[in-house]
A and B are shown apart, each in its own frame.
Chain A
């Protein structure tokens, strides 16, 4: 189920505009997210479906 850009914001009209200039701290945080996503990119692009399928647990408490 793909969504179009118009309604993809998680917080509806409260969501910050993606292109709005970010404060320095917020930008640093986004940089951390981006470098993490760079690191996992290859693995997640190739193995995601198999990983999701095979992650099966027994119920607990």
Chain B
């Protein structure tokens, strides 16, 4: 499969002080995470990020940025895959307390007013789940350290019910040769309709939850545009942010911001796996996808999410109509032609099974689909809290009942949330094992450059100055006084002579003393 990565912004509170500053809480959590990692973390290297923005201090529509505009940064030159020297930088350097690059290749940091785990690059849907769940466990472990001196709770959701939304973003490496407008047009029907499979469920309709009800998706009511650069306002279905963190002549990094953060594993698996398959069909120029183009995609995002009957018919540009399930089935059929390996085949099989179950009776998918699992639990809760009247009728609590709204949030609490407890009770299907997750908390995936990044952080803290998605920065104070920037523009690089040698020194008989 292609290279993918998942980023999660967690909700954060101090349960004993609801007014606590979330930016401060988040930075203390990053500090706690560094402690959890035994100090085996490094700073983030901003040097290789968005050279246009950094070097010229201007902002432009990245859709129109071409490779020749960006070759002023030698670290991005594919021809110069070697080591670049860099002078030590001044006080504008990343404040260390806001960032930690972890031994598993992930970045744990403060983004806006939330802690964020940006998982390492992976190359299969299964690995995406493994390192995503590992991130939740790492965040929970950091919270445990935090609680030795204070109080904190973390939530893997996307809304607070009062107007705020924060994201789970997926990143897909996509062939630069694909025309972006075509990519956006052909991907949008999938991004709009996949909510039936991957929605995390939400109590409340509307940005502020102003209308009582239950809907499939956390994020749906916050999507306001078809295509755009923003991620915090006028959020688009297809985001045009274009920092590939890779050789930009070959690749684009598609940044998908419409999805829900999931507390269950099957939705994460299908979120990444099915979307990657559809992208393969788009790269192949499959024109069948054009038959699924929607007339009003932005309106349909909420319409799909609000329709628990799965019968809403979306208007297609062709003038025909189709349900979200029908569109998902059509995408499944097209994707079948692009299965390249056993991982793809397993994704396709699971995707089909879930669509079949949803088509028969959504509750059949309660072990796999998160919004159904949540709806089932909350439905049971409504039964439990129903009030019997003297005339024999029963009154069931409405969706604006605070007990239901509280359970919706508590569903997503890391560690002891309702989803975590249902998973522990075996009521939810898992795709990973605890051993896999424990390993992924400490080790990077072996199939990408995250391996080099994470292992260097874990083993060569004595000389690693910083690391980024496409760089590892080595401190050569003793040798020549400068920093050496190792450029890794190909995300599938798993071996690099200089780094391999430094790692071998660490594990060899002459391993340097560690502080």
User: Which one of B89-97, B108-116, B341-349 is at the A interface?
Assistant: B108-116
How many cross-chain pairs have Cβ atoms below 8 Å apart between A and B? Answer: 142
The answer to the question of B395 belonging to the interface, with a C-beta cut-off of 8 Å to chain A, is yes
Of B114, B363, B394, which contacts A5 at CB under 8 A? Answer: B394
User: Do A48 and B403 touch (CB < 8 A)?
Assistant: yes
The answer to the question of B171 belonging to the interface, with a C-beta cut-off of 8 Å to chain A, is no
Contact A60-B9, Cβ < 8 Å, known A8-B382, A14-B309, A55-B409: yes
Taking Cβ atoms with an 8 Å cutoff, the residues of B that contact A are 9, 11-13, 18, 22, 111-114, 160-167, 169, 212, 214, 231-232, 257, 308-309, 361-363, 366-367, 375-377, 379-384, 386-387, 393-400, 402-403, 405-407, 409-410, 418, 421-422, 425-427
Q: What 8 new A-B contacts, CB under 8 Å, besides A11-B362, A26-B363?
A: A1-B398, A10-B308, A30-B380, A32-B425, A32-B427, A56-B160, A57-B12, A61-B167
Cβ of B377: which chain A residues have Cβ within 8 Å of it? 33, 36-37
User: Do A58 and B398 touch (CB < 8 A)?
Assistant: no
Contact A44-B427, Cβ < 8 Å, known A2-B398, A61-B111: no
Cβ of B166: which chain A residues have Cβ within 8 Å of it? 57-61
Across the interface, name the chain A residue whose C-beta is closest to B394. Answer: A5
Separation of A30 and B367 alpha carbons in the complex (Å): 11
Separation of A34 and B383 alpha carbons in the complex (Å): 11
Interface residues of A in 1-19 (CB under 8 A from B): 1-5, 8, 10-12, 14, 16, 18
Contact A58-B113, Cβ < 8 Å, known A11-B308, A48-B403, A52-B161: yes
User: Do A57 and B113 touch (CB < 8 A)?
Assistant: yes
Across the interface, name the chain A residue whose C-beta is closest to B308. Answer: A10
Of A16, A35, A36, A58, which contacts B363 at CB under 8 A? Answer: A16
Separation of A11 and B212 alpha carbons in the complex (Å): 16
User: Chain A contact residues (Cβ within 8 angstroms of B): what range?
Assistant: 35 or more
User: Do B112 and A58 touch (CB < 8 A)?
Assistant: yes
Separation of A3 and B393 alpha carbons in the complex (Å): 11
Across the interface, name the chain A residue whose C-beta is closest to B366. Answer: A29
User: Do B422 and A32 touch (CB < 8 A)?
Assistant: yes
Cβ of B376: which chain A residues have Cβ within 8 Å of it? 29, 33
User: Do A1 and B410 touch (CB < 8 A)?
Assistant: no
Cβ of A44: which chain B residues have Cβ within 8 Å of it? 403, 406-407, 410
User: Do B425 and A35 touch (CB < 8 A)?
Assistant: yes
Residue in A8, A16, A52, A55 whose Cβ sees the most chain B Cβ within 10 Å: A55
User: Do A56 and B162 touch (CB < 8 A)?
Assistant: yes
Separation of A60 and B157 alpha carbons in the complex (Å): 12
Across the interface, name the chain B residue whose C-beta is closest to A34. Answer: B380
Across the interface, name the chain B residue whose C-beta is closest to A16. Answer: B363
User: Do B409 and A52 touch (CB < 8 A)?
Assistant: yes
Cβ of A45: which chain B residues have Cβ within 8 Å of it? 403
Can you pick out 7 interface pairs between chain A and chain B where the beta carbons lie within 8 Å of each other?
A: A29-B376, A36-B425, A37-B384, A51-B409, A52-B406, A58-B113, A59-B166
Of B12, B375, B398, which contacts A10 at CB under 8 A? Answer: B375
User: Do B395 and A2 touch (CB < 8 A)?
Assistant: yes
Cβ of B164: which chain A residues have Cβ within 8 Å of it? 56-60
